[in-house]
Amino acid sequence: MDNTFLEKSALQVNDGVEQPPIVNPNAISRFKKFQHKMPSANEFVEGILCKNTTMLSKAITLVESSLPQHYTLGQEVIERCLPYSGNSIRIGITGVPGAGKSTFIETFGKMLTAQGCKLAVLAIDPSSERSKGSILGDKTRMETLCADQNAFIRPSPSAGSLGGVARKTRESLILCEAAGFDVIFIETVGVGQSETAVHSMVDFFLLLLISGGGDELQGIKRGIMEMADLLAITKADGENITKAEQSRILYQGAMHFLPQSESGWAPKTLTCSSYANTGLTEIWDVINEYLNFTKANGYFNKNRLRQSKYWMYETINSYLHDNFYQNPDIKGKLATYENAVLSDKLSSFKAAKQLFDIYTELAKKQEL
């Protein structure tokens, strides 16, 4: 049994001035389950490569853990799985409230598994920062898919910040790919920066919308429409069919006025219905068309490489950030300086410089 407990500090990253890292009580209870029998790195890696989803689950729990003693083992498992990763189609899925995202994922997912696809469904839920509730926590919302042998569903990880949640999801994605999953969904709710995080780790970004005059966009933060490679108007069934098609045409027109994406791909719009099981094969066709297009023009690989690089720098920046903003001396002074800036007593720039000078002095005295 591998008992390498060498790491000094919790692997926790924070965005700016948020709460200090918390230890996830779920991690502690899962750890206790492990205590009898924590698999070794070899057992994890071999299990994952043999497509053993129980071992995959345990490995994801391990890398999601905030406990210092899990860090080294978790990172070793990831390192060894890395050469086996990369061979899946990574699809980000978000939607306006009411679009029926879970139902869509279940129906669309079932269509893929029926074709023999092995599908993993991960999630980034910003509200799980506080270690409670996750969009996939209630698996009964996707009962059929949960029971499907070709599907693997995982709730959003918890962490002290969105950065932490995103990083753990990306690490889990690597493990899922090593375990042989062909398609990986990363789901999030349309509330803000989580879309940017998802967008930075997927190949294709799908936005689910509902029909209507435009009001429903109130729930989506600006900038997300421009990330989408495909907009799908859901619930295009029964009396709503015509309205859904009208909305589709309007959105298609609006998309024409957004600047072109770097990939060269012109985003498309479709309607679909999970209830009537329509439009779903068309969505899959568009995804494949996108993949062929971006592989042919080189963007697919270029984007993957850029995302790897991005995550290295994102993580470095998170560490720099955290080291400063979590320092007790600095934390104690931030509010004072903020108030001075807000009441025009101190310029933003002088305040920043003074705080930074305090920090470098602390570094020298080795008080960081």
Q: Does 302 bind its own copies (CB under 8 A)?
A: no
Q: Does 309 bind its own copies (CB under 8 A)?
A: yes
Q: Does 308 bind its own copies (CB under 8 A)?
A: yes
The single residue among 221, 240, 245, 291 that binds its own copies, judged by CB under 8 A, is: 221
Nearest distance, CB of residue 345 and its own copies, angstroms? 8
As given in the structure block, the two tokens for residue 217 are 């966009």
Q: Does 217 bind its own copies (CB under 8 A)?
A: yes
Nearest distance, CB of residue 251 and its own copies, angstroms? 6
What DSSP element (H or E) covers 200?
none
Question: Among 97, 146, 125, 297, which Cα is nearest to 194's?
Answer: 125
The single residue among 32, 54, 222, 239 that binds its own copies, judged by CB under 8 A, is: 222
Q: In what order do the strands lie in the sheet with 89-95?
A: 151-153, 119-124, 183-188, 89-95, 204-209, 230-233, 268-271
Strands (E) located in the chain = 89-95, 119-124, 151-153, 183-188, 204-209, 230-233, 268-271
Q: Does 352 bind its own copies (CB under 8 A)?
A: yes
Within residues 26-45, the interface with its own copies by CB under 8 A covers none
The single residue among 20, 29, 50, 79 that binds its own copies, judged by CB under 8 A, is: 79
- Region near its own copies per CB under 8 A, out of 44-52, 141-149, 156-164, 319-327: 319-327
For residue 275, the 8-state DSSP code is: T
- Region near its own copies per CB under 8 A, out of 18-26, 29-37, 40-48, 166-174: 166-174
**Secondary structure of residue 320 in the 3-state scheme:** helix
d(CA 51, CA 307): 26
d(CA 179, CA 87): 10
Q: Does 324 bind its own copies (CB under 8 A)?
A: yes
d(CA 118, CA 149): 8
Residues 163-194, buried b or exposed e (16+ Cβ, 10 A)? bbbbbbbbbbbbbbbbbbbbbbbbbbbbbebb
Question: Which x/- pattern over 104-143 shows residues binding its own copies (rule: CB under 8 A)?
Answer: ----------------------------------------
- Region near its own copies per CB under 8 A, out of 142-150, 151-159, 272-280, 310-318: 310-318
196 contacts 226 by C-beta, under 8 angstroms: no
Q: Does 171 bind its own copies (CB under 8 A)?
A: yes
Q: Does 360 bind its own copies (CB under 8 A)?
A: yes
Q: Does 266 bind its own copies (CB under 8 A)?
A: no
- Pick the closer one to its own copies by CB: 124 or 280: 124
Q: Does 50 bind its own copies (CB under 8 A)?
A: no
